[in-house]
Structure 1
């Protein structure tokens, strides 16, 4: 019987080296094209570093934590923004995830409409949502919450749908073959298997929303970010950097707590 000869190892290594060289060349060409198009002056950028350091330590240092107690309500607002936004988004995203997955929704045109809607939500940056909603609702907490829900809903729905596709298939087909109804398949077949992925994606989204809640405040959507922006505009740099440090501490504490929660659950 005729047996196809395998390519010599030398030829395979040469082809791999050629692909690697082409990849490096394309990446370098893309970087060089962007660099030249933007007309970046490397000399100015490098010589500005000492000036930046001097300005930072001359204006932002040391941090002023004396008024932190006055900012406590805004810090709590930022945390609760993330909590409420994540809760609402997680519930809605589960429904949209089911509609988006081809394992749980066999209606093609409905999946297309849902995918189009969620892609629109996901691809509009959260700051753009906040800026648009300010014209509707005005400056306030409601703007930040709605913008957070819109951005998180698009992200979580796609993540949930991908997880549903991974765990579905043969397990759900077995329930279908046994005559289970659609709701029985969802509640007894999908949800028990989906819970670990749901927890992971939801906690990850909560970490992102803590950061996003602070950023939203910079466009007038409430939270700690609005005071960071206000202090910067009033040249109160030491108070601004203290709030930034508090924000970093909030993010680190959130990541620590969510990691501990994951370990506790699993």
Structure 2
């Protein structure tokens, strides 16, 4: 069955229910029999007294029968529910599915309502999909930022480790170079000390030899004491006593002079061969 045929069938059922309700209201709007009898009682109380009682008894007998008939009738067919605020007619197609249909509802209204519900559901689904996409993008961005931060931390730790290793290697190289330099300086100092000791030993040996030679030469020389006068030099004294400058070395040796410097008033030993 198509949607249009279904809506037409529903409209027919709603119209039938409305007509039944109107007939029921028309019946209920009629004056009661008691009021009718009361009006007749004014004309003749004696004549209406007993027929009125009979009518009332008949009414009370027929009333439950009528209610029972209506109850059984509406048990077989759904009874419309009347709402005084919105005035809709509610009917039931079957016992499982209950749907309220307004009395003024048409196929276009139902179609518009259905389209509106579909549009709202679609908008809601799109919004939910958009929210999920945003959450997914946010989670992905957070994961990328976390991975980037971890990579940066690893690179920083690696760079720091390389810098520490480089500094350690440089320090070891400096210490090694320093130790090597100290060893070289120590070896050089030892060499200098050895050379100095060797030179001192040679000098002592030469001095001993000179002393020995001097002792042996003293017997061959006589010593003359000479007081240095102003502006005299070893060269002049040597020329005076030896007639040559060869005596400078002899004067220096006998007087223990390291150089040619002498001072005024200084007494020098002048060795002269016998």
* Same fold? TM cut 0.5: no
Larger radius of gyration: 2
Q: TM-score, normalised by structure 2?
A: 0.23
Q: Give the helix-richer structure, 1 or 2.
A: 1
| TM-score, structure 1 normalization | 0.24
More relative contact order, 1 or 2 (CA 8 Å, 6+ apart) = 1
Structure with the bigger percentage of strand: 2
